[in-house]
C-alpha cells in the first residue's frame, strides 16, 4: 500500500514539475518585447531653447513613428523610448548629460545640438561604445577625433563657411567684409572657414571682432566695425545674439549685408531682429537641403510637424528625425539593438532615403555629398536662394 502511495505521489510530483516547466518556457513568449532607449540632448533651456525644443520634437516624432510601425529585431518586437536631456548649450552640462545617458544604458544618442557640447560629449559616448549622430553640430573637429561612434547627417563648417565666403565675394559682391564670432566652437569655427572662403575667392576681410554667446551689447565692436565701412558683416553664432546685433547695427547706421551660418538661419530671426531687417539684407546657409521630388517629403514633414506640435520647424527637426530613423534602420539591418553589433551597420549606411535626402556616411562618419541651402528673408519670411553641394 505504501509503495503504491509513494508511486502516486511521485507521479503527481513529476506532472507538477512538468507543468511548471511548461509555464517557465512559455513566459518569455508572453513578454517578447524589447525596450530600446534612445538618448537625445539639446538646449531646452536658455537663449536657444527654441532650437533645442525643435530638435527634441523631431526626435519624439521619429520615436512615435517607429513605435507605430512595430519593428521586430532579433525575433522581438521593439518599443523605442526617448530619454531627453537638456544641456543648456553648456559644455559642462553637456558632459553631465552624456554620462547620465551612458549610465541609463541607452542604445544610441541623437545630439547634441551645438558643436561646443557635442565635441566633449563625444568622448564619453566613444569610451562607452555608444553610437552618436549629431543632426546639427558642424565643427569639423567632431568627426576628426578618430571616434568610430561619431556620425553627423549635415555638412560641416568647412563646406558651409567656405561656401558662404565665396558667395559673399562672387554673388554679394562684397568689397569690404567684416567678421564677428561668439567664441564658441561653432561660431569661431564657421567664422574661420568663412574668412578662408573670402580670401580664396579674392576678397578681403577688413576687420575681425568677437563677442560671446550671451552678449546683448555690441556697441564697442560695432563702432570699431563702422570705422572700416564694411559692406558685408558675417556673424558666427546663433540667432539669439544675431537679432540684437542687427538692431544695434541699424541704430548705428551700418547698412551692410548681414551673413551667417545655420545658427542664425531660423524662423525666429526676424522676431529677434525686431523690425531691423531689410528685405534681402540677410544671407545665411543651412546645412542640408533638398531639390526636386525630395521637396515634397520635406513639405509633408513640415505639415505633419505643425499638426503634431502646433509649431513651425525651426531648422534641425527633420535632420533629427532622419538621425533617429537611420539609427533604427541600422539596428534592423544588424538584427540587433546592441550598440557593439549595430555600430558596423550604421557606419555602412548607404543610400538611406530620408526626409532630408539620401543619407550615407564616409569613413569619418560625415554625411557624403552634404548639401547646403542658401536663404534670404523677405517680408520677414525665409526664402530659399539655392541648394549647393
* All domains of the chain in start order, with CATH: 33-154+292-369 (3.40.50.2300), 158-287 (3.40.50.2300)
Q: For the chain, list residues with pLDDT below 50.
A: 1-31
Is residue 9 helix, strand or coil?
helix
pLDDT at 315: 87
CA–CA distance from 34 to each of 218, 275, 367 (Å)?
53, 52, 30
pLDDT at 49: 96
Neighbours of 136 (CB within 10 A): 30
- The pairing of beta strand 372-378 with beta strand 282-287: antiparallel
Is residue 152 helix, strand or coil?
strand
Sign of CA dihedral 188, 193, 198, 204: positive
pLDDT at 145: 97
Task: State the cell numbers at 208.
Answer: 575681425
Q: At what angle do helices 339-347 and 317-334 cross, to 10 degrees?
A: 110
Half-sphere exposure of 141 (CA within 13 A, CB side): 18
Cross-strand partners of 386 = 374
pLDDT at 9: 41
- Burial label for 156, CB within 10 Å (0-12, 13-18, 19+), is buried
pLDDT at 369: 83
Entry pTM: 0.78
pLDDT at 7: 44
Q: How many Å apart are CA 369 and CA 154, to the nearest integer?
A: 10
pLDDT at 26: 42
Cβ-Cβ contacts under 8 Å for 78 (sequence gap 6 or more): 33, 34, 36, 66, 71, 72, 331, 337
Q: How many Å apart are CA 242 and CA 238, to the nearest integer?
A: 6
Cross-strand partners of 150 = 132
Q: How many Å apart are CA 321 and CA 154, to the nearest integer?
A: 13
- The pairing of beta strand 132-134 with beta strand 76-86: unpaired
- Give the chain's length: 389
- What are the φ and ψ backbone dihedral angles of 209, each rounded to 5 degrees? -125, 165
Amino acid at each position: 500500500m505504501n509503495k503504491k502511495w509513494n508511486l502516486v505521489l511521485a507521479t503527481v510530483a513529476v506532472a507538477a514539475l512538468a507543468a511548471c516547466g511548461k509555464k517557465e518556457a512559455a513566459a518569455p513568449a508572453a513578454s517578447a518585447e524589447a525596450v530600446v532607449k534612445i538618448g537625445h540632448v539639446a538646449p531646452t533651456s536658455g537663449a536657444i531653447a527654441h532650437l533645442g525644443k525643435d530638435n527634441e520634437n523631431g526626435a519624439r516624432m521619429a520615436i512615435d513613428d517607429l513605435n507605430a510601425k512595430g519593428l521586430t529585431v532579433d525575433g522581438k518586437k521593439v518599443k523605442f523610448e526617448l530619454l531627453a536631456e537638456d544641456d543648456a548649450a553648456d559644455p559642462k552640462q553637456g558632459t553631465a548629460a552624456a554620462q547620465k545617458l551612458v549610465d541609463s544604458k541607452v542604445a544610441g544618442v541623437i545630439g547634441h545640438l551645438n558643436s561646443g557640447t557635442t565635441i566633449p560629449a563625444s568622448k564619453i559616448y566613444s569610451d562607452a561604445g555608444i553610437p552618436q549622430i549629431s543632426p546639427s553640430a558642424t565643427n569639423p573637429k567632431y568627426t576628426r577625433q578618430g571616434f568610430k561612434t561619431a556620425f553627423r547627417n549635415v555638412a560641416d563648417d568647412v563646406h558651409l563657411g567656405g561656401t558662404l565666403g565665396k558667395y559673399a565675394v562672387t554673388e554679394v559682391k562684397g568689397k569690404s567684409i567684416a567678421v564677428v564670432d561668439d567664441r564658441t566652437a561653432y561660431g569661431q569655427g564657421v567664422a574661420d572657414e568663412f574668412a578662408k572662403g573670402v580670401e580664396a575667392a579674392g576678397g578681403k576681410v577688413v576687420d575681425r571682432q568677437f563677442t560671446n554667446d550671451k552678449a546683448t551689447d555690441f556697441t564697442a565692436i560695432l563702432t570699431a566695425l563702422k570705422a572700416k565701412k564694411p559692406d558685408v558683416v558675417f556673424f558666427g553664432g546663433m540667432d539669439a545674439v544675431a537679432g540684437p546685433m542687427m538692431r544695434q547695427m541699424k541704430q548705428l547706421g551700418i547698412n551692410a549685408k548681414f551673413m551667417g551660418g545655420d545658427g542664425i538661419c531660423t524662423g525666429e530671426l526676424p522676431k529677434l531682429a525686431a523690425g531691423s531687417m531689410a528685405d534681402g539684407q540677410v544671407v545665411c546657409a543651412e546645412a542640408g537641403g533638398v531639390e526636386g521630388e525630395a521637396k515634397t517629403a520635406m513639405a509633408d514633414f513640415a505639415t505633419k510637424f505643425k499638426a503634431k506640435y502646433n509649431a513651425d520647424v525651426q531648422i534641425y527637426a527633420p535632420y533629427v528625425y532622419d538621425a533617429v530613423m537611420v539609427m533604427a534602420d541600422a539596428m534592423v539591418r544588424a538584427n540587433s539593438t546592441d550598440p557593439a553589433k549595430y555600430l558596423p551597420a550604421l557606419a555602412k549606411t548607404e543610400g538611406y532615403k530620408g526626409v532630408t535626402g539620401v543619407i550615407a556616411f564616409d569613413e569619418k562618419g560625415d554625411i557624403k555629398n552634404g548639401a547646403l541651402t542658401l536663404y534670404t528673408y523677405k517680408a520677414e519670411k525665409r526664402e530659399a536662394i539655392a541648394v549647393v553641394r
